[in-house]
Homo-oligomer: A and B are copies of this chain.
Amino acid sequence: MSRVVVVGAGFAGMAAVRELRESGGQVTLVDRHIYSTFQPLLYQVATGGLNPGDIVYPTRNFVRRHGARFRRGSVTAIDTHARELVLDGGARLGYDYLLLASGVTTNYFGVPGAAEHTMALYTRQEAIILRDCLMAGLEALAARTGTGDLTAVIVGGGATGVETAGAMAELRNAAVKTAFPEITPRQVNIMLLEQGPELLAPSPPRLRRYALAQLRKREVQVRLDTAVREVTPHTVVLGDNTMLRADLTIWAAGVTASTAVHKWGLPQGRGGRIFVDDHLRVAGHPEIFAAGDLALIDGQPLAQQAQPAIQTGTHAGRQIRHLLAGQATQPFHYRDKGSMATIGRNAAVVALPHGVRLSGALAWLAWLGLHIIMLLGNRNRLSTLLNLSWRYLAWPSGNSLIVGDLPDQDQHDRHET
């Protein structure tokens, strides 16, 4: 039986495994985590609205239902001659066909201090760290009863930055007011910095304006055309050398392939992504495909969203299925199904193809429904529906946050003044 190995249990890798279900190959899904993360809702974990467990799904449960196997590990090298992956710890895993879909990680663009003094929001663990640092900041502010302030600076006005800023603003305006009588909401500042002239740059103009207006309505200080030059433990230095005091800095400015990818010996392009042709095959390796955020198709990365990942993953899985059946591969064509972002309760933007635009409460319900449907597992769906309803509908001014342990004193001190 031909061995198919899929690296990465994100949207792309899972779409490929689904597609390979009846392929006749022995499919193994490899991931460094034992769960698959639903990244679009990570910012809800970071702001205490969802449990980490609501948005991660055990990968073994997923593979079992698709006749595949799971192997936990990181790919440290690819022996393309022997057709074997080398995993952390040294184990080797042979393949006849290989799909690389392990995604990307935070890009600090060489900004000094950014990697050391900011928090990212790309993994389950990062979301938990942000949540706990945020709560530690609020507790420290509460202990000073009435004096001082807490400033969170979010760098990057894409969907992650916009959604995080919106959720943090709602947390401040609702939860902080009721749960922290020692703090007035004015003591908590939320700033969103965007290098370009607009938020949500790839979206249509009406939606960009809507997002900006909603964030400002929620008293997020949005600064456009604002580059970051340096980050220190307590400041963000802007392009014009202005210094902003920052207790928490969240980096949502961009992504790049992880450094591990550089050791794989495959052709890489912009942002370290793996160069593939329009069939999603790696040049010179007809048995290796790449999909999702990691793939650079004919030199063009697709948007870092679920849809492009799912479509490329499905396509790559289908091509491997074709090859297993002795058929030829087909080129990939992206089908735009639109995009969406949420700013807060009853406030979201949806851009569908053919110029259809939604905003406000209807868009918010569409956002909620689509995310519930896209989650893996009925338990996660029910739990997420329960928790998001709690947050936004049933008790809008309530504040039953999902909280955890505060970071230890060292880290704690680092993020507070």
A residues within 8 Å of B by Cβ?
Answer: 33-35, 51-54, 56-58, 60-61, 64, 69, 71-73, 88, 91, 124-125, 135, 139, 142-143, 178-182, 377, 379, 382-383, 386-387, 390, 399-406, 409
Contacts and interface: CB of A to CB of B under 8 A. Distances in A.
A143 B72 contact: yes
Contact of A52 (B124, B404, B409): B404
B383 A387 contact: yes
A60 B403 CA distance: 11
B91 A143 contact: yes
B34 A400 contact: no
Contact of A124 (B58, B69, B405): B405
Contact of A53 (B51, B56, B73, B399): B51
Nearest to A52: B404
A105 to B, nearest CB: 15
Most chain B CB atoms below 10 A, which of A57, A179, A180: A179
A188 B181 CA distance: 51
A379 B383 contact: no
Contacts of A124: 404-405
15 contacts: A51-B53, A51-B383, A53-B404, A56-B404, A58-B179, A61-B179, A61-B400, A64-B178, A64-B181, A69-B182, A91-B143, A125-B405, A377-B400, A382-B386, A383-B383
A56 B409 CA distance: 21
Nearest to A402: B53
Contacts of A51: 51-54, 383, 402
Contact of A383 (B69, B386, B406): B386
Given A58-B179, A72-B406, A379-B400, 10 more contacts: A34-B403, A35-B404, A56-B403, A58-B400, A58-B401, A60-B180, A72-B142, A124-B404, A124-B405, A382-B386
A146 to B, nearest CB: 13
A125 B72 CA distance: 24
Contact of A139 (B34, B53, B179): B34
Given A91-B143, A181-B69, A34 B135 contact: yes
B406 A34 contact: yes
A390 B58 CA distance: 15
A60 B379 CA distance: 28
A4 B35 CA distance: 46
A139 B403 contact: no
Nearest to A135: B34
A88 to B, nearest CB: 8
Contacts of A383: 51, 383, 386-387
Contacts of A69: 181-182
Contacts of A56: 403-404
A178 B61 CA distance: 8
